[in-house]
């Protein structure tokens, strides 16, 4: 296999989907996934993530466009011939079979020899650390254990692609974190390709190689977690990933990707222009709370905004300060709770310092 | 754990300082007793209702099938004097005279017919003997009957000189009898008192077998028709499903009698089906469909279909649709996924529906009575016959008890092999 083929292992080419022959639920979905990659579809509820997975697995038809697996279109292939492992949100374990029988099912379907099945099932039970539980039925397992079985069952027939639709959605926080580690561990160990669906952004950020942020049937940005966080492509991504201040302003001019923006406070600041418009158009400037400073340190800060202090909140090792722009827009800043943390009282005027590289100007949608 | 043991457990597990004082314990107990009383008061009306509508009638039925006081009440003195008879040859003259006296008394009370009917069940042909003898004895003088009663009897009918009629009297005179059950099982006692197959007509065992066979066919037909429909309903969009569900339930809103009569209109010689087939030249002469086993099975399948569909539907509705998808994603073709994954999960509904339909159809009465003719009769029709026409309540009770035993046995077998806990009705 050539290197090029490896990075285009799975390809969505202009995929569209409509359920009702009127409106598109997925609009022009394009994505390349490399072999062995862990790709997450992240997006709000109803954005079409499950629909994409179902089209991939073959349970929903593709209205137009193509899905290519290893260079071959699979759009017309029956689901049972695609050799794709799938983990369902509600586990979908067969309640009338024991755990071992559940794991053996895909192998039996493939007419594998009995001895080999027993061996492989045992190996995978060990892998998910449930080798004592093979004889139990799914109803006799805890949520996390069921989840592990579902995972093992999707992996046991060694599919090259595994789809997971919010597999941890039903678990509590602690179990979820544990299972995230478990999935990452198995992924590293076995090297399969994953398309993972979630609307929990911290889950997406910790687990994925790349994240495709999905909104309204369109991929807004597909990038590594770091890039997504540090360089959001538009205001939706900026708002959706992590916490962000979105400050309204007007673009005066854009030079070499740096926009000069006039704020409501009258301050003029400079910001990186991701998709800000031309001169004299309305925009929002996004700044993360931890990139806002009130006491200028050694750094050189290009931007300064004057705001009014409203109140602050102790969160333990840091403090959240709340400020207000003249039009009432709230600005949040996060400071370490150390000796330089400023003492302010309500109504005080304050100056906020921000670096140009931490400001992003986006078009108003 | 009941609340009381919970309290006790708390007493023992808590450190000494947390112990309840004896006063507090008695208060807690009183509170508990009050709750139990309230719970009991809430179900008492139901218990009373159940007793009068369920326990008492079934108990009476079971009792009636072995309790037979009629003859014992009619001729008590004859029966007690017959006790000295060894059953061989003829009884004493005194016994016969006593019988004559009893019969005269009954004749005057106009109860000799009842005696005749009861004895006739044990020795067919005796009814007229007793009735005519009683008529003749009515005008005889009491004194004379005491001295010459035996001669009067023999003169009235020479059947009285045969031991059989006296044996029949003894048999009929027993207050507790297994005779009804023997009859219901096509058995009888021979002269030596051993149980043997009845030499005359044998109808009941055959009827039970036929009833079971018909119930099985009906259950199978309901399954065949109901399963695909329930599957469709469970997977259809809710708007369509609700609409169709109403159609499934529609039969419950119309009278059973109307539905059954509709089948008469459909199936009779000049009925809808026959005229249709004739006019299409499929058949040249009308088919005999009404008053056959066929018509009973068709009509009952129609009537009992909802009982199959409803549990199946509710179970199928609860099956996670992603199970089938999971099976297919693992490489199973749709038919094999259906058989290995979907079908096993519908078994609780299937067995509940099948059991329901089977048990209802085993005891069904109205439909076979109306459309069954002689061919399509089931055991309950014979029970009704003995209740209403032949007035043999004892036999009806025995037949009914056997039906009850049969159903309980089947249920037990079912429980052994399938497990009653697998039943899911909704
Ligand atoms: N079978 C269907 N028929 C018609 N519309 C559907 C169907 N399935 C999904 N939709 C619609 O398609 C849109 C996308 O649904 P989808 O299930 O893909 O969302 P999602 O991103 O998975 O959301 P969630 O995070 O809540 O699971 C929704 O507006 C939904 O109403
Ligand atoms: Mg979804």
- For B283-317, b/e burial (b = at least 16 CB within 10 A) is eeeebebbbbbbbbbbbbbbbbbbbbbbbbbbbbe
**A229 CA distance to ligand 1 centroid (A)?**
27
Domain residues for A335? Answer: 244-363
User: Going by C-beta distance under 8 Å and a sequence separation of 6 or more, which residues neighbour residue A63?
Assistant: A16, A17, A18, A24
**A61 CA distance to ligand 2 centroid (A)?**
16
Structural domain contains residue A1: no
Phi, then psi, of A218 in degrees rounded to 5: -125, 140
Beta strand pairing call for A303-314 and B187-189: unpaired
Measured distance CA(A230)–CA(B399) in Å, rounded: 86
Report, as an integer, the average pLDDT of A67-91: 90
Q: List, as own/partner pairs, every contact residues A329-335 make where C-beta atoms lie below 8 angstroms and the sequence separation is at least 24, other chains included.
A: A329/A246, A329/A247, A329/A248, A329/A264, A330/A245, A331/A245, A331/A247, A331/A292, A331/A305, A331/A307, A332/A243, A332/A245, A332/A289, A332/A292, A333/A289, A333/A292, A333/A293, A333/A294, A334/A289, A334/A290, A334/A292, A335/A293, A335/A294
Q: What is the CATH number of the domain that holds A280?
A: 2.40.50.100
> Which residues on B lie below 8 Å from A110 (Cβ)?
331
Of B323, B325, B331, the CB nearest to A94: B323
Q: What is the CATH number of the domain that holds A198?
A: 3.40.50.300
pLDDT-derived band at A15 (thresholds 50, 70, 90) equals very high
This prediction has a pTM of 0.77
Among 1.10.30.50, 1.10.3720.10, 1.25.40.10, 3.30.420.40, name the CATH number for the domain at B204-422.
1.10.3720.10
Residues A254 and A349 in one domain: yes
pLDDT-derived band at A312 (thresholds 50, 70, 90) equals confident
The pLDDT, as a whole number, for residue A235 is: 85
**Nearest-by-CA chain A residue for B323:** A92
Measured distance CA(B37)–CA(B318) in Å, rounded: 38
Angle A87-A92-A96 from CA coordinates, rounded to 5°: 140
Structural domain contains residue A271: yes
The pLDDT, as a whole number, for residue B7 is: 46
Residues A49 and A175 in one domain: yes
Would you say A286 and A245 are in contact if contact means Cβ atoms under 8 Å apart? yes
Residues A168 and A308 in one domain: no
The pLDDT, as a whole number, for residue A97 is: 94
- For A105-139, b/e burial (b = at least 16 CB within 10 A) is bbbbbeebeeeebeebbeebbebbebeebbeebbe
The pLDDT, as a whole number, for residue A327 is: 85
The pLDDT, as a whole number, for residue B162 is: 87
> Which residues lie across from A143 on neighbouring strands?
none
Contact state of B330 with A157 under an 8 Å Cβ cutoff: yes
Residues A182 and A76 in one domain: yes
Q: List, as own/partner pairs, every contact residues A137-142 make where C-beta atoms lie below 8 angstroms and the sequence separation is at least 24, other chains included.
A: A137/A95, A137/A96, A137/A97, A137/A98, A137/A99, A138/A91, A138/A93, A138/A94, A138/A95, A138/A99, A138/A102, A139/A95, A141/A99
Beta strand pairing call for A161-165 and A193-198: parallel
Q: How far is CA A18 from each of CA A22, A28, A59, B325, B400, rounded to the nearest angstrom?
A: 7, 11, 14, 20, 63
Structural domain contains residue A66: yes
Residue with CA closest to ligand 1 atom 3: A19
Of A80, A81, A92, the CB nearest to B320: A92
Measured distance CA(A155)–CA(A168) in Å, rounded: 16
Which has more confidence, B2 or A30? A30
> Which residues on A lie below 8 Å from B320 (Cβ)?
90, 92
- For B134-146, b/e burial (b = at least 16 CB within 10 A) is bebbeebeeeebe
Contact state of B325 with A88 under an 8 Å Cβ cutoff: yes
Residues A202 and A311 in one domain: no
The interface predicted TM-score of the complex, written ipTM, equals 0.79
Residue given tokens 């160990």 in the structure block: A189
**B237 CA distance to ligand 1 centroid (A)?**
16
Residues A42 and A161 in one domain: yes
Residue given tokens 């478990």 in the structure block: A182
H or E stretch covering A363: strand A360-363
Residues A321 and A222 in one domain: no
Structural domain contains residue A30: yes
How far apart are the CA of A106 and the nearest CA of chain B, in angstroms?
5
> Which residues on A lie below 8 Å from B325 (Cβ)?
57, 59, 79, 86, 88, 92
Contact state of B331 with A96 under an 8 Å Cβ cutoff: no
The pLDDT, as a whole number, for residue B217 is: 97
Residue at which a domain ends, from A198, A216, A235: A235
Would you say B35 and B2 are in contact if contact means Cβ atoms under 8 Å apart? no
User: Per-residue pLDDT tens for A115-172?
Assistant: 999 999 999 998 888 889 999 999 999 888 998 899 899 999 999 899 999 888 877 8
Paired tokens of A105 = 């099912």
Residue with CA closest to ligand 1 atom 18: A48
User: Going by C-beta distance under 8 Å and a sequence separation of 6 or more, which residues neighbour residue B252?
Assistant: B306
Residues A77 and A175 in one domain: yes
User: Going by C-beta distance under 8 Å and a sequence separation of 6 or more, which residues neighbour residue A342?
Assistant: A294, A295, A321, A335, A350
Closest listed residue to residue B398, CA positions, set B64, B98, B126, B32: B64
Q: Is residue A223 pLDDT above 80, yes or no?
A: yes
Measured distance CA(A204)–CA(A224) in Å, rounded: 10
User: Going by C-beta distance under 8 Å and a sequence separation of 6 or more, which residues neighbour residue A317?
Assistant: A336, A337
> Which residues lie across from A42 on neighbouring strands?
A198, A213
Contact state of A105 with B345 under an 8 Å Cβ cutoff: no
Closest listed residue to residue A234, CA positions, set A362, A64, A356: A362
Whether the CA torsion B48, B53, B54, B59 is positive or negative: it is: positive
Q: What is the dihedral of CA A263, A269, A272, A274, to 10 degrees?
A: 20
Question: Where along chain B do its domains lie?
Answer: 3-64, 70-177, 204-422
> Which residues on A lie below 8 Å from B326 (Cβ)?
86, 88, 92, 94, 153
Beta strand pairing call for A218-223 and A10-17: unpaired
Measured distance CA(A313)–CA(A341) in Å, rounded: 12
Of B323, B331, B344, the CB nearest to A92: B323
Structural domain contains residue A3: no
How far apart are the CA of B349 and the nearest CA of chain A, in angstroms?
14
Residues A313 and A330 in one domain: yes
How far apart are the CA of B270 and the nearest CA of chain A, in angstroms?
51
Paired tokens of A95 = 């309640």
Measured distance CA(B9)–CA(A24) in Å, rounded: 63
Structural domain contains residue A185: yes
Contact state of B327 with A94 under an 8 Å Cβ cutoff: yes
Angle B387-B389-B393 from CA coordinates, rounded to 5°: 30
Phi, then psi, of A250 in degrees rounded to 5: -130, 130
**Nearest-by-CA chain A residue for B324:** A92
Contact state of B329 with A80 under an 8 Å Cβ cutoff: yes
Residues in chain B: 426
> Which residues on B lie below 8 Å from A79 (Cβ)?
325, 328-329
Q: How many structural domains does chain A have?
A: 2
User: Going by C-beta distance under 8 Å and a sequence separation of 6 or more, which residues neighbour residue B246?
Assistant: none
Question: What tens-digit pLDDT sequence spans chain B (426 residues)?
Answer: 444 444 444 444 445 567 778 898 999 999 999 999 999 999 999 999 999 999 999 999 889 899 988 888 888 888 888 888 887 888 888 888 888 888 888 888 888 888 898 888 888 888 898 888 888 888 888 888 888 888 888 888 888 888 888 888 888 888 898 888 998 999 888 777 788 888 878 889 999 999 999 999 999 999 999 999 999 999 999 999 999 999 988 888 888 889 888 999 989 888 888 899 999 988 888 888 889 999 999 999 999 999 999 999 999 999 999 999 999 999 999 999 999 999 999 998 998 899 999 999 998 999 999 998 888 889 999 999 999 998 888 999 999 999 999 999 988 988 888 776 666 665
State the number of CA atoms in the 13 A half-sphere of B23 facing the CB. Answer: 0
Angle B265-B271-B274 from CA coordinates, rounded to 5°: 140
H or E stretch covering A85: strand A84-87
Residues A143 and A255 in one domain: no
Paired tokens of A265 = 């406070």
Residue at which a domain ends, from A204, A235, A266: A235
- Pocket around ligand 1: residues whose beta carbon is below 6 Å from it? A 19, 25, 43, 45-51, 199
Find the chain B residues whose C-beta atoms sit closer than 8 A to any C-beta of A.
320, 322-323, 325-334, 336-337, 340-341, 344-345, 347
Please tell me the number of the ligand nearest to residue A27's CA: 1
Would you say B230 and B316 are in contact if contact means Cβ atoms under 8 Å apart? yes
> Which residues on A lie below 8 Å from B347 (Cβ)?
96
Paired tokens of B173 = 């005179």
The pLDDT, as a whole number, for residue A2 is: 44
Contact state of B332 with A109 under an 8 Å Cβ cutoff: yes
User: Strand locations in A276-357, DSSP E?
Assistant: 282-287, 303-314, 318-324, 330-336, 349-354
User: Per-residue pLDDT tens for B349-369?
Assistant: 998 899 999 999 998 999 999
Residues A89 and A142 in one domain: yes
Strand order through the sheet with A218-223: A84-87, A161-165, A193-198, A38-42, A210-215, A218-223
Beta strand pairing call for A64-69 and A10-17: antiparallel
Structural domain contains residue A86: yes
Measured distance CA(A175)–CA(A156) in Å, rounded: 22
- Give the distance, in angstroms, between the CA of residue A1 and the centroid of all CA atoms in the same chain: 29
Considering only CA atoms, give the Rg of chain A. 25
Beta strand pairing call for A72-73 and A26-33: unpaired
Residues A117 and A217 in one domain: yes
Structural domain contains residue A332: yes
Cβ pairs A/B, distance under 8 A: 61
The DSSP output letter for B19 is: P
What's the helix, strand, coil split of chain A in %, to 5? 30, 35, 40
The pLDDT, as a whole number, for residue A125 is: 92
Measured distance CA(B55)–CA(B61) in Å, rounded: 10
H or E stretch covering B195: strand B195-197
Contact state of B336 with A86 under an 8 Å Cβ cutoff: no
Closest listed residue to residue A186, CA positions, set A234, A146, A130, A148: A148
The pLDDT, as a whole number, for residue B10 is: 46
User: Going by C-beta distance under 8 Å and a sequence separation of 6 or more, which residues neighbour residue B191?
Assistant: B167
């Amino acid at each position: 296999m050539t290197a090029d083929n490896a990075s285009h292992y799975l390809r969505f080419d202009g995929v569209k989907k409509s359920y009702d022959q009127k409106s598109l639920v997925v609009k022009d979905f394009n994505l390349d996934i490399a072999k062995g990659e862990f790709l997450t579809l992240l997006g709000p509820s109803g954005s079409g993530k499950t629909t994409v997975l179902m089209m991939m697995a073959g349970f929903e038809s593709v209205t137009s466009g193509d899905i290519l697996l290893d260079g071959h279109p699979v759009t017309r292939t029956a689901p049972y011939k695609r050799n794709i492992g799938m983990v369902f949100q509600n586990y979908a374990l067969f309640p009338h079979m024991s755990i071992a029988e559940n794991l053996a099912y895909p192998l039996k379907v493939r007419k594998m020899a009995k001895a080999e099945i027993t061996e492989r099932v045992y190996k995978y039970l060990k892998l998910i650390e449930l080798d004592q539980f093979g004889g139990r039925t799914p109803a006799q397992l805890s949520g996390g254990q069921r989840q592990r079985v579902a995972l093992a069952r999707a992996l046991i027939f060694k599919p090259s692609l595994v789809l997971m639709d919010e597999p941890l959605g039903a678990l509590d926080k602690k179990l979820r974190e544990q299972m995230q580690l478990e999935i990452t561990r198995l992924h590293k160990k076995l090297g399969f390709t994953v398309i993972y669906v979630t609307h929990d952004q911290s889950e997406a950020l910790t687990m994925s190689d790349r994240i495709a942020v999905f909104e309204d049937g369109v991929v807004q940005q597909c990038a590594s977690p770091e890039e997504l966080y540090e360089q959001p492509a538009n205001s939706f991504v900026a708002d959706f990933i992590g916490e962000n201040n979105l400050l309204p302003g007007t673009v005066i001019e854009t030079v070499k990707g740096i926009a000069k923006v006039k704020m409501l406070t009258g301050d003029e600041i400079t910001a990186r222009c991701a998709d800000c418009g031309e001169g004299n158009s309305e925009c929002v400037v996004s700044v993360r709370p931890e990139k806002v400073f009130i006491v200028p340190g050694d750094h050189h800060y290009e931007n300064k905004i004057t705001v009014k202090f409203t109140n602050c909140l102790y969160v333990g090792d840091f403090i959240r300060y709340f400020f207000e722009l003249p039009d009432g827009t709230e600005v949040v800043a996060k400071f370490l709770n150390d000796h330089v943390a400023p003492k302010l009282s309500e109504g005080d005027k304050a100056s906020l310092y921000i670096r140009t590289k931490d400001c992003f100007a986006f078009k108003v949608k | 754990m009941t609340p009381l043991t919970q309290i006790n457990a708390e007493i023992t597990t808590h450190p000494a300082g947390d112990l309840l004082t004896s006063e507090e314990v008695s208060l807690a107990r009183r509170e508990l007793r009050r709750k139990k009383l309230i719970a009991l008061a809430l179900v008492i009306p139901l218990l009373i209702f159940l007793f009068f509508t369920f326990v008492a009638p079934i108990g009476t039925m079971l009792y009636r099938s072995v309790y037979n006081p009629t003859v014992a009440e009619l001729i008590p003195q004859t029966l007690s004097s017959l006790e000295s008879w060894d059953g061989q040859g003829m009884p004493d003259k005194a016994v016969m005279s006593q019988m004559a006296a009893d019969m005269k008394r009954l004749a005057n009370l106009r109860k000799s017919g009842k005696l005749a009917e009861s004895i006739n069940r044990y020795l067919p042909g005796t009814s007229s003997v007793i009735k005519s003898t009683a008529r003749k004895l009515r005008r005889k003088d009491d004194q004379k009957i005491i001295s010459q009663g035996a001669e009067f009897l023999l003169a009235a009918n020479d059947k009285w000189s045969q031991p059989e009629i006296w044996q029949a009297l003894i048999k009929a005179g027993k207050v507790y009898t297994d005779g009804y059950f023997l009859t219901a099982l096509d058995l009888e006692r021979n002269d030596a008192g051993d149980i043997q197959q009845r030499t005359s007509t044998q109808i009941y065992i055959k009827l039970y077998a036929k009833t079971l066979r018909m119930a099985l066919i009906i259950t199978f037909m309901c399954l065949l028709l109901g399963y695909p429909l329930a599957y469709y309903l469970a997977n259809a969009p809710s708007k369509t499903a609700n609409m169709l569900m109403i159609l499934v339930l529609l039969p419950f809103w119309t009278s059973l009698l109307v539905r059954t009569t509709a089948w008469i209109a459909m199936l009779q010689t000049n009925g809808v089906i026959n005229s249709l087939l004739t006019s299409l030249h499929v058949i040249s002469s009308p088919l005999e469909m009404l008053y056959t086993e066929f018509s009973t099975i068709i009509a009952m399948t129609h009537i009992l279909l909802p009982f199959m569909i409803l549990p199946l539907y509710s179970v199928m509705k609860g099956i996670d649709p992603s199970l089938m998808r999971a099976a297919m994603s693992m490489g199973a073709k749709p038919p094999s996924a259906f058989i290995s994954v979907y079908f096993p999960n519908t078994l609780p509904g299937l067995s509940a529906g099948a059991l329901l339909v089977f048990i209802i159809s085993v005891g069904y009465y109205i439909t076979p009575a109306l459309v069954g003719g002689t061919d399509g009769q089931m055991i309950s029709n014979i029970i009704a016959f003995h209740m209403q026409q032949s007035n043999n309540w004892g036999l009806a009770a025995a037949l009914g008890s056997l039906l009850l035993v049969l159903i309980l046995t089947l249920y037990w077998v079912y429980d052994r092999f399938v497990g009653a806990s697998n039943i899911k009705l909704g």
